[in-house]
C-alpha cells in the first residue's frame, strides 16, 4: 500500500503558510487524528522550527515553536531517526513527552523524522484524543509521507 495522498506545497513555504496548514490537515484527517505538527530542522541551533500545527493550545505555542533535538516526542524522533509513539500521553511515565504536552489532551501520539535519505529535514507528528497504538503500517505510511515532503523542507542553512 502506498502512502496516503496529501497535497504538500510545491516549494519551501514560510512557517505557518496556508499550504503547509492544509497539508498537515490532510495528513491528520487521513490518520483519523485531531492534532498535529510539522517542524523543519535548523542545524544552526540544533532545534526543530514549527512550520504548521493544528489544535495545539495557545499556551503551548511558545514551546512548540522551537524544540531542541532530543526533547519531547518530536525531538526524540529527530534524534533517534525513527518513529516515537506514546499510546496514552496522559498517563505516560517514559519521560519522553514534556510535562506540558498533557495540555494538548492528546492520548495516542506518533512523531516521525522527515528524512531526505540520511539527512534529517524535520519531524511530522499526529495525535488522537483516545489511547491508541499506531500499527507498523501506519508508522511506515507516515514515514513515507515525511520522505515525500523532505525535499521541500530541507534544513535552513
Please check the confidence at residue 97 and state whether its pLDDT lies above 80. Answer: no
Give the pLDDT score at 155: 81
Domain boundaries, the chain: 18-91+104-153
Please check the confidence at residue 2 and state whether its pLDDT lies above 50. Answer: no
Give the pLDDT score at 105: 64
Give the pLDDT score at 99: 66
The CATH architecture assigned to 18-91+104-153 reads 2-Layer Sandwich (3.30)
All cell numbers assigned to 156: 535552513
In sequence order, what DSSP letters do the residues of 109-154 get, joined into one string? EEEEEEEETTEEEEEEEEE-SS-----HHHHHHHHHHHHHHGGGGP
Buried (b) or exposed (e) across 101-140, using 16+ Cβ within 10 A? beebebbbbbbbbbbbeeebbbbbbbbbeeebebeeebbe
> pTM to 2 decimals?
0.86
Give the pLDDT score at 60: 84
Burial class (CB in 10 A: 0-12, 13-18, 19+), 68: middle
Residue located via cell numbers 540520511: 118
In sequence order, what DSSP letters do the residues of 42-88 get, joined into one string? ETTTTEEEEEEEES--GGGHHHHTEEETTSHHHHHHHHHTS-EEES-
Please check the confidence at residue 89 and state whether its pLDDT lies above 90. Answer: no
Choose between 69 and 105: higher pLDDT. Answer: 69
Amino acid at each position: 500500500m502506498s502512502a496516503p495522498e496529501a497535497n504538500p506545497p510545491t516549494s519551501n513555504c514560510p512557517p505557518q503558510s496556508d499550504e503547509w496548514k492544509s497539508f498537515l490537515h490532510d495528513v491528520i484527517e487521513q490518520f483519523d487524528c485531531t492534532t498535529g505538527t510539522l517542524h523543519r530542522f535548523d542545524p544552526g541551533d540544533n532545534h526543530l522550527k514549527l512550520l504548521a500545527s493544528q489544535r495545539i493550545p495557545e499556551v503551548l505555542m511558545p514551546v512548540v515553536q522551537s524544540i531542541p533535538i532530543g526533547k519531547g516526542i518530536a525531538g526524540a524522533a529527530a534524534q533517534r531517526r525513527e518513529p516515537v509513539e506514546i499510546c496514552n500521553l496522559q498517563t505516560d511515565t517514559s519521560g519522553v513527552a514534556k510535562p506540558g504536552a498533557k495540555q494538548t489532551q492528546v492520548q495516542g501520539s506518533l512523531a516521525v523524522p522527515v528524512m531526505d535519505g540520511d539527512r534529517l529535514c524535520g519531524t511530522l507528528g499526529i495525535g488522537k484524543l483516545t489511547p491508541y497504538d499506531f500499527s507498523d503500517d501506519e508508522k511506515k505510511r507516515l514515514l513515507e509521507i515525511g520522505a515525500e515532503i523532505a525535499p521541500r523542507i530541507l534544513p535552513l542553512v
